[in-house]
Amino acid sequence: MHGIDNIFAMEHQYFKRDISWLSFNYRVLLEADDDTLPLYERINFISIYSSNLEEFYKIRVADHRAIATGATCSDEEDVQDAIRLVEDINHEVNRQMLERIRIYEQKIIPALRRAHIVFYQTPDVEPEHREFLKRFFHEEIFPYLAPVPISRDRVVSFLRDNRLYLAARMKPKGPDGVLDSMPFEYFVMKLPYTKVPRFIQLPSIGRDYYLMYIEDIIKANLADIFPGYVVDSSYCIKISRDADILIDDTAGTPAIIEQVKTKVKKRKIGKVCRFVYERAMPSDFLQALTDAYGIHHHELVPGDKHLNMEDLRHLPNPSPALLSAREPQPMKLSCLDGRESIFNYVAQHDLLLYYPYHSFEHFIHMLYEAVHDPAVREIMLTQYRVAENSSVINTLIAAAQNGKRVTVFVELKARFDEENNLATAEMMKASGINIIYSIPGLKVHAKVALILRRDARNHRLTSYAYIGTGNFNEKTAMLYADCGMYTCNPVIVNDLHNLFRTLCGKQSPVFHRLLVARFNLIPELNRLIDREIELAKNGYGGRIILKMNALQDPVMIDRLYEASKAGVNIDLIVRGICCLIPGQEYSRNIRVTRIVDTFLEHARVWYFGNGGKSKLFIGSPDWMRRNLYRRIEAVTPVLDPTLKQELIDMLTIQLADRRKACFVDGQLHNVWKSSNPQKEIHRAQYDFYTYLKKKQEDTSDSTSL
């Protein structure tokens, strides 16, 4: 059993949000410890773990540090709480770092060696490689190195965000060797792996392939960089800087656009929130660096001998014997192939697609059909995160050029996608698409599209709505497990039209079936929970299953506690943050399942038993304060009995997972559902793919008959 240390106190029946997130990220790291996974998939999970942690420090920890230093808060109690939280975070990250080192050094590196890949971890190499490395260093690396001397008394170089630097200390040579009487001198140089790859493949020897970090090559040749010195030691360092930017969206669209253009650039020069260093660095060496760069003690985070492990996703695989993971390949439904009309199909049946098991090309196909259908007058869509060179955007541009009225709501405040969203918005606007930008005080997170059709007399024809759980991004649709519903239900279509008119500024909309955050979502959730409480109290067995990415809102957590105390049987499938504490007297009927596997579980699916007449919903929001109260989110009921059963089957398959599913217990431990999960066969993502594939085959067989 693995988990968070018991030092973390629980407050008011909720886990701390950031400590819960660390529990999730630790579960990601445990995938690298799974010997049954393909080796490079395990390596990639170390990369994902490290990348997640980098963003966590740049956003969440940076915010806590600002409070802890009094920069954004003057309340002494809040300052002390922030100081303690940062200490707790660093304590847990340090504990996890030791586990990451164990997995990497004792599991991954030996496994590579058994596969005849020797991944050098120090500057020491086989004699056969010394001449190659000497030549490679001087020809490919040395021209890009620019050592800079540092000390407390001189102006030091600026350390860029998330870039790797090598710090070296040395003493000058005298006629008789090193001048021991002289103080150490310190130099810092940026690793040039924008010019040279981080990982270098060396010549093979016999059956063995060889890889090496670029910093180890530099360390092996430091004497050539500093010919007048005797090098004492060298270690890598990196800085993480505050990447959160505050956009004042009350000043109107032109001001928002200008802020995005200017403030995004400031991410690279934000305040230091983490100074990571090789943990083997001597204390006096570290002190010299912190003095020179003005680093505070609470910003220090020890790392492994190699930093920036997120780069491992680029580790070359020179061995043809090491195959990549055999991931499920997206299916194209026979009923929606290139010869058939999606409009005609959805006019007869609601359609629910599950990505990446189903192909996202079906959504592109629907847009293409809208481009060429004379009856389509208008296309409306929300953009939160889209792929570069997006097929979705290109198709919308084609629609506008074909005479359709196209309206796209672009959320400029989507973190880390601000620049891409602005660039695509400007491209769409230049092509004749009507662009609506961010709403003051809100983010629009809904994943919705609407296709409106009219006849020659302007009478409404069958129109189509799409409500999904994931972004309109064909690249992430290959990685994220999401779902989306296509429907021509006139009530849902009209509700969605009202939502888009709301985004355009219309006031006081009415929604009849669609649930929209900040309008009717919370009242309906309360009504649904009340119904299950009533059933349980009357002996009819209330039942709730909620699948989402994060559960943090204390108001909704309290409602679940209330339902549990009333006897409602509750299963939560929460991938990431879960502030609800299971296993307590007030939560005795609640179980929390966490699934981490090949694909990122991203769908939001809610089931309410309703006394045997189940109600199911899919949509964009997690149960976090920001989603429920400060964003525009859209949730649709799933009304078709066949599609409802599909969702129930999916939830059942996920709850039955014994391979990649953990319980999250009352101490934030990731508790495997099986005593030996690596030998279990029930693996939800692959089982659900098999389930969908069989349905596809059964449908094809019945059609052919």
CA distance 166 to 237: 6
Q: Is 137 exposed, middle or buried (0-12, 13-18, 19+ CB in 10 A)?
A: buried
pLDDT in tens, 154-188: 767 788 888 999 999 999 887 776 677 788 999 99
Q: Give the SS3 label for residue 64.
A: helix
- Residue 9: pLDDT band (50, 70, 90) is very low
- β pairing state of 661-664 and 590-595: antiparallel
pLDDT in tens, 571-626: 999 999 999 999 999 999 999 999 999 999 999 999 999 999 999 999 999 999 99
Give all strands (DSSP E) within 179-312, no chain letters: 185-190, 199-205, 208-213, 229-241, 272-278, 300-303
Q: What is the pLDDT of residue 6?
A: 46
Within 8 A by CB and 6+ apart from 477, the residues are 355, 356, 360, 470
| Closest to 381 (Cα-Cα) out of 393, 389, 391 | 393
CB 236 within 8 A of CB 307: yes
How would CATH label the architecture of 350-509?
2-Layer Sandwich (3.30)
- Residue 704: pLDDT band (50, 70, 90) is very low
First to last CA, the chain: 52
Within 8 A by CB and 6+ apart from 357, the residues are 328, 330, 331, 481, 688, 689, 692
pLDDT at 387 over 80: no
Q: Is 458 left (phi over 0), alpha (psi -120 to 50) or beta?
A: left
Q: How many CB atoms sit inside 10 A of residue 583's CB?
A: 14
Q: What is the pLDDT of residue 37?
A: 94
Within 8 A by CB and 6+ apart from 212, the residues are 119, 120, 125, 133, 199, 200, 202
Positive/negative CA dihedral, 530, 534, 539, 540: negative
Residue 147, φ and ψ in degrees, nearest 5: -65, 140
- Residue 443: pLDDT band (50, 70, 90) is confident
DSSP 206: T
CA distance 351 to 339: 17
Q: What is the pLDDT of residue 256?
A: 66
- Residue 263: pLDDT band (50, 70, 90) is low
Catalytic residues: 445
Tell me what the mean pLDDT of segment 522-546 comes to. 97
In the chain, the percentage of residues whose pLDDT exceeds 90 is 72
To 10 degrees, the CA torsion angle through 306, 312, 318, 320?
Answer: 140
Q: What is the pLDDT of residue 418?
A: 76
Most confident of 31-35, 436-440, 441-445: 31-35
Q: Amino acid identity, residue 602?
A: H
Tell me what the mean pLDDT of segment 690-701 comes to. 84
pLDDT at 545 over 70: yes
DSSP string of 613-662, one letter each residue: S-EEEEES--BSHHHHHSEE-EEEEE--HHHHHHHHHHHHHHHT--SSEE
Could you identify the residue written with the tokens 């003057």? 74
Residue 309's alpha-carbon distances to 25, 46, 315, 583, in angstroms, are: 14, 7, 10, 36
Q: Give me the residues paired with residue 170 across strands.
A: 185, 231
CA angle 51, 52, 57 (to 5 degrees): 100
Tokens of 434: 């009507």
Tokens of 479: 């990685």
**Mean per-residue pLDDT over the chain, rounded:** 90
Q: What is the pLDDT of residue 76?
A: 85
CA distance 344 to 260: 42
pLDDT in tens, 494-506: 999 999 999 888 8
Q: What is the pLDDT of residue 259?
A: 67
pLDDT in tens, 640-649: 999 999 999 9
Q: What is the pLDDT of residue 307?
A: 95
CA distance 428 to 410: 10
Domains 125-312 and 521-704 share a fold: no
pLDDT at 338 over 60: no
Could you identify the residue written with the tokens 């009533």? 534
pLDDT at 703 over 60: no
- Show me where the domains of the chain are located: 1-115, 125-312, 350-509, 521-704
Q: What is the pLDDT of residue 70?
A: 73
Predicted TM-score of the model (pTM): 0.92
Identify whether 316 is preceded by a cis peptide bond (ω within 30 of 0): no
In the chain, the percentage of residues whose pLDDT exceeds 70 is 91
Q: Is 565 exposed, middle or buried (0-12, 13-18, 19+ CB in 10 A)?
A: middle
Fold of 125-312: polyphosphate kinase like (3.30.1840)
Q: Give me the residues paired with residue 238 across strands.
A: 276
Which CATH superfamily does the domain covering 1-115 fall into? Polyphosphate kinase N-terminal domain (1.20.58.310)
Fold of 521-704: Endonuclease; Chain A (3.30.870)
Residue 473, φ and ψ in degrees, nearest 5: -140, 105
Higher pLDDT, 25 or 58: 25
pLDDT in tens, 508-530: 789 999 999 999 999 999 999 99
For the beta sheet containing 515-516, the strands, ordered from the edge strand earlier in sequence to the opposite edge, are 515-516, 634-638, 615-619, 604-608, 543-548, 569-574, 590-595, 661-664, 670-672
CA 256 to mean position of chain CA atoms: 25
Q: Amino acid identity, residue 525?
A: L
